[in-house]
Amino acid sequence: MRVLGVDPGLTRCGVGVVEGVAGRPLTLRGVGVVRTPADAELGLRLVAIEQGIEQWLDEYEPEVVAVERVFSQHNVRTVMGTAQASAVAMLCAARRGLTVALHTPSEVKAAVTGSGRADKAQVGAMVTRLLRLDAPPKPADAADALALAICHIWRAPAQNRLQQAVAQNRLQQAVAQNRLQQAAALHASKPASHHASKGRTA
């Protein structure tokens, strides 16, 4: 599985591509940051982020795009910019028919470090270790993007099993409901047929 991790942000949007499967060593394919000038008009910044992500999708052809799930923060202006950049990444992936996975920061931290409260330094250190790098990727946004990709690769098997179980349960419920409806329809039709036959006999 090849995953493009996106740590959304207007000024710095971290991107990183990791390939591998759960339980085996992972491979770094690429890491970087899509930057936009803070003094540029918002629409132009979003276009720049779109173009940057499209270039990564073209070059690395990931199967999945893992994006950090935006959550409420005290700084509304910051979270709005993060949400806008996140939407651009999701749009780019969806337009190509790619799977989009959302992971919260605590999920990513827990998956990579074992603690949902790990700081950026701990995340960077574990990313360095897991991908067998010489040094933590800089800036932290790039390391966070790799952590997102790693998180998805490790969590995907469990998520797939859960989704399959849910789908199977829904299918069973639908079949049972259909049988009930058929039985009810058959039961409702019997008296009508009986009365009709009596009328014909008379």
Which positions are catalytic? 7, 68, 141
Report helix, strand and coil shares of the chain as percent, to nearest 5.
Answer: 60, 15, 25
Residue 75 CA, distance from chain mean position:
24
Q: Locate 176 and state its tokens.
A: 């049972």
Mutual angle of helices 105-113 and 140-201, in 10-degree steps: 110
Sheet with 64-68, side-by-side order of all strands: 27-35, 12-19, 2-7, 64-68, 99-103
Nearest alpha-carbon partner for 109 in 127, 97, 133: 127
Q: Of 2, 3, 9, 1, give the one whose Cα is nearest residue 105.
A: 9
